[in-house]
Amino acid sequence: MPLLTAILVAAGVGVAQAPAPSKLAEAAVAGVSSQPLAPAEPPHIAFEIHDVTAVSPDWRGKMLPKLQPVAREEGVAVWALDADGVRELIATCQDNPQARVLQAPRMIARLGDPVRMSNEEESHYVAHLKRISDGPPNEGTHIAFQPEVDKVHDGIRVELSETRLKGSVLFAKMAIQHNKVLGFHTTNYKESIVDATADPEVVKTSLLSKLRPEGDGKVAVAGTIQVPEISTRRIEGDWMIPSQGGLLVSMGPQALGAKAGGRKHYEERLIVVTAHLEAAGTTAPAEPTPQQKP
């Protein structure tokens, strides 16, 4: 197993008749020996993460003998797979043309450094309306609504931190979250303003009064607020990553409405994580953060 090592070799030559070392030489040797040794650079770990979208639960029945349970929480499950199991899972999902198999760029990080991967889309929405007026509600002569825009994410986030070796076995603290934006609900806020420039006699004799449901020289102004509906699933734990294989995480099925014939559309997000020790001298960024879009 390739590990970075530091080797200090000391050689001494001397015979009984050799003259004693001078005080200058002794001082030089003492100065060298008192200098602290530079700490060995930690090994590097190469991570590969697959983001798989299965369209049927049949992969579970097919691969049951290879699935070694690790954790389960609220419908989210984690298994360990050997190398053959990882290859079989990827091949099984790729055989279905409706499934999606995405692989993040290979990431290399020093042992202990965090690794993050995200595959998600960002949506903006109007979360709040800031009221700007010269008077209390329904009593001002002008009104404006300044939208406060926020964002939500649809997709997967994976973070591995606190990686460490116990002997030759790699452990990592993992947190995986899946957000699914199901849609946006809307509601309106309406407020009346007083038209200070309007002539009451003109208003009474014109069609303008018919366009103002509030009457009394008031005009209605409305703004729209959006409310996101999001399904979030998350699991985290401190798990061993098999050196000859990987970890498989299922975020659970998600129904996306009915297909033709009344059958519900099935979608299940799967995350496969593999990790291997890199050869000594490999260089990499401390915190690689690859991103992909489906």
Furthest-apart CA atoms within the chain: distance in Å: 129
Instruction: State the total domains in the chain.
Output: 1
> Is residue 216 in a domain?
yes
> Is residue 65 in a domain?
yes
Q: Identify the pLDDT of residue 285.
A: 45
Judged against a pLDDT cut of 80, whether residue 190 lies above it is answered with: yes
**8 A C-beta contact, residue 276 and residue 45:** yes
Amino acid at 100: R
**8 A C-beta contact, residue 140 and residue 109:** no
Q: Identify the pLDDT of residue 197.
A: 62
> Is residue 100 in a domain?
yes
* Average pLDDT estimate for 103-107: 93
* Average pLDDT estimate for 122-131: 96
Judged against a pLDDT cut of 90, whether residue 254 lies above it is answered with: no
> Is residue 18 in a domain?
no
Q: Identify the pLDDT of residue 7.
A: 25
Half-sphere exposure of 290 (CA within 13 A, CB side): 15
pTM for the whole structure: 0.71
> Is residue 217 in a domain?
yes
Domain ranges, residue 264: 42-277
> Is residue 34 in a domain?
no
Judged against a pLDDT cut of 70, whether residue 62 lies above it is answered with: yes
> Is residue 3 in a domain?
no
What is the C-alpha to C-alpha distance for residues 211 and 205, in angstroms, rounded to an integer? Answer: 13
- Phi then psi for residue 215, to 5 deg, are 70, -175
pLDDT tens profile 3-22: 322 222 223 333 334 445 45
Judged against a pLDDT cut of 50, whether residue 258 lies above it is answered with: yes
Q: Identify the pLDDT of residue 124.
A: 97
> Is residue 175 in a domain?
yes
Q: Which residue has the tokens 């038209």?
A: 195
Contacts of 154 (CB under 8 A, 6+ apart): 120, 121, 122, 123, 179, 180, 181
For residue 20, give Cα distances in angstroms to 12, 24, 25.
13, 11, 10
Candidates 96, 104, 91, 43; CA nearest to 273 is 104
pLDDT tens profile 219-248: 888 999 999 999 999 999 999 999 899 999
